[in-house]
Amino acid sequence: MARARPIPNPDPDAPLFVQAALIIGTRLNEMLEYERTLEDPEAVYELHQMRIAAKRLRYTLESFQKVYATYSPFGKEFDAAIETIKALQEHLGEIHDADVLVPRLTEHLVGMLKDGYGKERHGEPRVGVHFVDFEAGEGVLTLCRESRAVRDARYALLLQDWKALKQRGFFERLQGLLRAAITEDALSAVLQESPSRPKTSARRRAPHSVSTPENDDAQNSHTTEPTSRPARTRRRAASVS
């Protein structure tokens, strides 16, 4: 199993939504790295790694779910994003289950058949028709076929859903949501302070100095906070979960 990508330039004193955007963005990019292998149904290892990356992303989103629901106007969108990633994870999970199960069933089938051939103790070829439970073997073979069919169907659904997500800009919208939540209003709500500017103008605009790791240059990205906010206040925001 591939190790999780390290979080670039973590800052424990950064505001909570800045940390959330950095961590979630890293996990999102980690999953998106496997997009190029989606067109190959036999890329078993890569599809398995993509499943793991999707699981990490889902659990990371869920860990911040209450924060976005309570302290930002994007709770519903955030919940919907979790369900979308969960569906992708389930597709990839069914594919992986079949990839693991069918070889084990095949091994079992070979073991069932081996008693039906070979040589007797005296060196003569084995003869007879009742050494193998062909009915049981047929059942195992049927299960292999059914597992393969389920795998193929899930793979087709994965490609279909992924294409639909790309067409509607789901991943870009999720990245935009992470940026938009980093506002003075959102931080003030977490800190239980009075916002320094009207909600209608601040809530949907992220500071230009804050970015999420949307590409491989993410390790060079950093955040800049307003100089008017004391360091003690930043530490309080980072500690809220």
SS (H, E, C) 16-30: HHHHHHHHHHHHHHH
Identify the pLDDT of residue 4: 84
Residue 96: inside a domain, yes or no?
yes
- CA dist 120 and 138 (Å) reads 25
Identify the pLDDT of residue 40: 95
- CA dist 95 and 43 (Å) reads 11
Residue 1: inside a domain, yes or no?
no
Residue 95: inside a domain, yes or no?
yes
Residue 5: inside a domain, yes or no?
no
* pLDDT tens-digit readout, 31-49: 999 999 999 999 999 999 9
- CA dist 103 and 184 (Å) reads 55
Residue 62 DSSP SS3: helix
Identify the pLDDT of residue 187: 52
Which long-range CB contacts under 8 A does 233-241 form with residues at least 24 apart?
A: 233/191, 234/13, 234/14, 234/15, 235/12, 235/13, 236/191, 237/15, 237/16, 237/187, 237/190, 237/191, 238/12, 238/13, 238/14, 238/15, 238/16, 238/19, 240/16, 240/67, 240/190, 240/191, 241/16, 241/67
Residue 240: inside a domain, yes or no?
no
- Full residue range of the structural domain in which residue 169 is found: 16-223
Identify the pLDDT of residue 132: 80
Structural domains counted in the chain: 1
Identify the pLDDT of residue 131: 81
Residue located via tokens 């389930």: 90
Identify the pLDDT of residue 188: 53
* pLDDT tens-digit readout, 180-196: 998 755 555 555 543 44
Identify the pLDDT of residue 94: 97
Identify the pLDDT of residue 209: 35
Identify the pLDDT of residue 179: 92
Which parts of the chain have pLDDT scores under 50?
193-241
Residue 235: inside a domain, yes or no?
no
Among candidate residues 96, 1, 90, the one with its CA nearest the CA of residue 43? 96
Residue 105: inside a domain, yes or no?
yes
State pTM to two decimals.
0.72
Residue 233: inside a domain, yes or no?
no
